[in-house]
Amino acid sequence: MTTSTASTASTAPAAPGRVLPSGPLARVRWAVADSWTVTRRYLIHWVREPSYVVWGLMYPMVSVLLFGYVFGSAMVVPGGGDYREFLLPGLFGMTMMFGIGNTMMGVTTDADKGITDRFRAMPMARSAVVVGRSTADMINSVMDLVILILCGLIVGWRAHGTAGETLAAVGLLLLLRFAFIWVGIYLGLRAKNAETAGNFYALLFPLTMISNAFVAPEMMPGWLGAAAAWNPLSSTVAAIRELFGNPGLGGDSWIAQNALLMAVAWPLAIVALFLPLSVRRYRRARR
């Protein structure tokens, strides 16, 4: 974390003489206020260092140019259709999943610089750090998604569904991102340093590539296609293609035929597993 990041920690909750609230409602207000303070800290850091956001968008933008224009003429979409309209929903989903790395590195860097220990020593709600981190990442993800959709419109992608279906597709993308935020927080708390976090980050490439983001699973070898079809990313991408009215629908497997159901079920299962793990890990962490 840079010096500017450390300085923004001064926006963290109140000083050590703070009186802890009593009563359930007062504690909820206390937790919400502290969580928003931590959220503001991350947002201020991103405003001061916009390169964080810019570099996060470089990979999907380069992928649009590389796969959409360089390799696009050689790609075949099952059932026919424009490959760029097939590709963009996959890139939307990949960007949401790659957010794991940003969350994980942010959490690990805070721990390395002693910011997490400082928060833990202050009279603040125990949940504020992880909730504040997840809220800031969701705000950042909304901005990323808006920029990517605008880029998609520029290169010729269109959403052919109704306004309600388009909003539902955006909601599914943000639900996927919310689920993987908690994976990133947990892995960031588990990582001993930034190098270890970088090793976790490398695993994102096979996890995102073995999916239906670039190629339909039915065009892969049998075993690989089955693994790609059951990837949570594939369910979200297939569901939003259906809602956006983009090409690439198909597949006879159960998972392919129930993409909308699984686009909700996968993220909820991930949240149910990793949210309590993240909170427990933060409470027990001793760095």
> How many whole angstroms separate alpha carbon 210 and alpha carbon 115?
36
> How many whole angstroms separate alpha carbon 268 and alpha carbon 255?
16
> How many whole angstroms separate alpha carbon 228 and alpha carbon 215?
10
Provide the 3-class DSSP secondary structure of residue 154: helix
101 burial via Cβ count (<10 Å: 0-12, 13-18, 19+):
buried
CA atoms within 13 A on the CB side of 210: 14
Provide the 3-class DSSP secondary structure of residue 60: helix
44-102 pLDDT, tens per residue?
877 777 766 677 667 777 777 777 777 666 677 777 778 888 989 999 999 898 888 88
Whole-prediction pTM value? 0.83
228-258 pLDDT, tens per residue?
999 999 999 999 999 999 988 767 789 988 9
